[in-house]
Amino acid sequence: MKKITLAPGNVSLDTLRTIAREHVSIALPRAAYKKVDASKKAIDGIIGSGKTVYGINTGFGLLAKVSITEDRLETLQRNIILSHATGVGNFLPDGVVRLVLLLKINALAQGHSGVRRAVVDFLLTLYNKEIYPCIPEKGSVGASGDLAPLAHLSLPLIGAGQVRVKGRVMPAKDALKKYKLKTLDLAPKEGLALLNGTQVSTALALFGLFAAEDCFSAAMVAGALSVDAAKGSTTPFDPEIHRVRRQQGQIDAAKVYLGLLKGSAIRASHAHEHDPKVQDPYCLRCQPQVMGACLDHIRFAAEIFHREANAVTDNPLVFAASGDVKSGGNFHAEPVAMASDTLALAIAETGAMSERRIAMLIDHKISGLPPFLVKDAGVNSGFMIAHVTAAALASENKSLAHPACVDSLPTSANQEDHVSMATFAARRLSDMASNTATIVGVELLAACQGIEFHAPLKTARPLQKAKGMIRARVGHYKKDHYFAPDIRAATEMVEEGSFLPFMPRGLLPCR
């Protein structure tokens, strides 16, 4: 089994993608524990001095002015976890919870949170033994941190809440007993350090980012297949056109399309013919412009999420070298919210362009292919309603793409008077990517169908390989049959990242 020794504050996107998709054991270097010990020593010094410092010996939020006596500090930390565990809705999937645990460990191990090494080790044990706290998906506004979901993450440390082990939900206390783990009596600041932070929003955002990359790569392949299926031109992908536009994503996307279509016998068969269409429809011709813009936004979002994944976002923060404890607002997840809203646009537009290409392929007046991509149309309906499904999903994504960060509701009696809504902004990305994956899955089937109507002419070698992969899962549409399983199979190929290898190294941020 793989094992990764984390460098706290320097975890790569590749590592994060791997952990989102599969369990990989992790460990911390000794140097990290020295930083953790130093920050804990600073907290002990404050307690010993009798100073009043927010989050250490005070209440929280609007109750920050309430001083807490030393004999009640342990109760304070336990109470904050219990009272803040107010999440509702379905539990987050294991892959997201695994990322949340990793991100919280990564933050605490940087030595600015004032917790004991026992807290970090408990989280490491939960992660490595695959004991996943049950975290409801709803209940966070993304400031002051992901309070409710992170409270649910923290409940097992004090023997409360539920966990999921190998798919089975059980009381946390039963799982701890099974694995011979002892609960913790939380020390000053530890409860707050666990609850404050943007780890849930960031984990959800990363999950959406990785799904967006899978959709993007599949849509690039599908779009190239559709060009050949419709006997489209490769001239719109000429590098000179894109060089003068100066948009890097567009330049990169055009190069990929040219590479995918290079050597196509279908293209060669009509390259010198008089084409009565004069120009291809935008869904073919403007692919570099649209997918290039999507690529730029994916890259932007990835940079923001990567920074946040390696950030320390609880409050207050401990600076052990000076002994200072400073209260700020790193828990405010506006960067994640805004970048998630940006990524939502890219996911929606990837699906929107794919839906338009499906519509073009089934329209014999535009594509020149048999109506609805099936022989004996009329008796057979072919891809008619598969396109309707794609249209429904593209429309749904338009609503989901509405920005979340522009909404804000004051909380905590107006103490927390502007919030980010990052958790929802990030959570909806997976739903949008699922919709887009299905749309692109339908296009892959439609484009392969179109290519096969040009036999014995063959498409380019990379696209032949892609078509072969698809046909290994779903056969040619000969006549009407139960179509939903075919669409599901093609969608799964998109969601599995089957088409990522067709993208050049470095094109996408996580590969």
Q: What are the residue numbers of the active site?
A: 54
CA distance 223 to 227: 6
The tokens for 511 are: 């590969």
3-state DSSP call for residue 131? Answer: strand
Which of 103, 132, 127 lies closest to 16, judged by CA? 103
Number of CB atoms found within 10 A of residue 155's CB = 22
CA distance 382 to 378: 9
The tokens for 439 are: 């749309």
CA distance 470 to 493: 8
Let me know: does 66 contact 162? Beta carbons within 8 Å: no
Side chain identity at 426, as an amino acid letter? A
CA distance 108 to 103: 9
Q: Quote the DSSP letter at residue 417.
A: -
Burial class (CB in 10 A: 0-12, 13-18, 19+), 136: middle
Scan for tokens 């969601």, then name that residue.
Answer: 495
**Helical packing angle, 117-128 and 30-49, nearest 10°:** 140
